[in-house]
């Protein structure tokens, strides 16, 4: 590969310094070339504005999510049907998370408080990416530290993996010294509509005003 690169560079030097240089644009093809570039630019602008104007409901047709059989933080069975019939906030994390998860759940509790009656139909779910340690009791106590509006979801590891993959969430166990481990995971909150379709995301650390507006758009 290095040899090929050197040969190409050598060829470039010969053409650049040859005695008979040709102008960059000739009369024969300069006008068609310019028209081509212009048309490509117009097409690009049309594509950009078309995508920008797609309403959220159409963007949601990606159909994320899928079937799962898990347990909520009160020990009751919960399936994907729990995410339908109302808008939802979904977050994947774990109770041993040192900072991102508690910060996000604290902010989530604040969103509910700020929205007040506006958020009466809104539900929130905290799915554990570490179901081995996050039992229903552990999840219930943990979410209760923030608000009673968040339902903890845990259960069989294989079933949780179904939910993780269905929502295209990243989650990976990372060994730490002493035989313990942490979890790397997606830090965004998923905003899901009443049909169970993803409508938007709230990034970790996103401005509170922006986050609230996204939730209000979801509630419309």
Cα–Cα distance for residue pair 117/215, rounded to 1 Å: 13
Pair (42, 130) in one structural domain? no
Residue 126 lies in a domain: yes
- The structure tokens listed for 157 are 């590891």
List pLDDT tens digits, range 84-124: 999 999 999 999 999 999 999 999 999 999 999 999 999 99
Pair (80, 142) in one structural domain? yes
Cα–Cα distance for residue pair 116/124, rounded to 1 Å: 14
At 126, which CATH number? 3.40.30.10
User: Are 90 and 167 within 8 A, CB to CB?
Assistant: yes
Contacts of 128 (CB under 8 A, 6+ apart): 92, 93, 94, 95, 134, 139, 152, 153, 154, 160
How high is the mean pLDDT of the chain?
81
Cα–Cα distance for residue pair 28/162, rounded to 1 Å: 60
- What percent of the chain clears pLDDT 70, i.e. is strictly above it? 71
Average pLDDT over residues 188-212: 97
Domain interval for residue 25: 2-52
Query: What is the pLDDT, as a whole number, of residue 145?
Result: 97
Domains of the chain: total: 2
Residue 181 lies in a domain: yes
Residue 73 lies in a domain: yes
Residue 207 lies in a domain: yes
- Residue 191 phi, psi dihedral angles, 5° rounding: -105, 115
Average pLDDT over residues 11-19: 35
Pair (29, 74) in one structural domain? no
List pLDDT tens digits, range 157-192: 999 999 999 999 999 999 998 889 999 999 999 999
Residue 57 lies in a domain: no
Largest CA distance in the chain: 84
Query: What is the pLDDT, as a whole number, of residue 93?
Result: 98
Pair (17, 80) in one structural domain? no
Query: What is the pLDDT, as a whole number, of residue 38?
Result: 52
CA triplet 69, 89, 77: central angle to 5 degrees? 20
Residue 20, pLDDT above cutoff 50: no
Query: What is the pLDDT, as a whole number, of residue 64?
Result: 86
Query: What is the pLDDT, as a whole number, of residue 200?
Result: 96
Pair (110, 214) in one structural domain? yes
List pLDDT tens digits, range 37-90: 455 454 444 443 333 333 444 444 457 899 999 999 999 999 999 999 999 999
Pair (193, 90) in one structural domain? yes
Cα–Cα distance for residue pair 81/68, rounded to 1 Å: 9
CA triplet 56, 62, 67: central angle to 5 degrees? 120
Pair (142, 48) in one structural domain? no
Residue 158 lies in a domain: yes
Pair (127, 187) in one structural domain? yes
């Amino acid at each position: 590969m290095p040899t090929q690169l050197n040969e190409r560079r050598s060829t470039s030097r010969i053409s650049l310094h040859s005695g008979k240089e040709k102008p960059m644009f000739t009369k024969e093809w300069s006008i068609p070339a310019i028209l081509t570039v212009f048309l490509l630019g117009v097409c690009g602008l049309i594509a950009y504005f078309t995508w920008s104007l797609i309403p959220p409901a159409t963007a949601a047709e990606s159909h994320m999510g899928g079937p799962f059989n898990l347990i909520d933080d009160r020990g009751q069975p919960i399936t994907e049907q729990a995410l339908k019939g109302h808008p939802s906030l979904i977050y994947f994390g774990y109770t041993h998370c040192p900072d991102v998860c508690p910060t996000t759940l604290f902010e989530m509790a604040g969103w509910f408080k700020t929205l007040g009656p506006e958020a009466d139909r809104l539900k929130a779910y905290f799915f554990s990416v570490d179901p081995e340690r996050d039992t229903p009791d552990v999840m219930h106590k943990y979410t209760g530290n923030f608000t009673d509006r968040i339902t903890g979801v845990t259960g069989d590891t294989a079933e949780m993996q179904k939910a993780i993959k269905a929502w295209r969430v990243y989650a990976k166990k990372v060994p730490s010294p002493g035989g313990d481990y942490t979890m790397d995971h997606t830090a965004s909150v998923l905003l899901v509509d009443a049909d169970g379709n993803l409508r938007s995301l709230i990034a970790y650390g996103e401005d509170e005003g922006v986050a609230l507006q996204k939730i209000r758009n979801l509630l419309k």
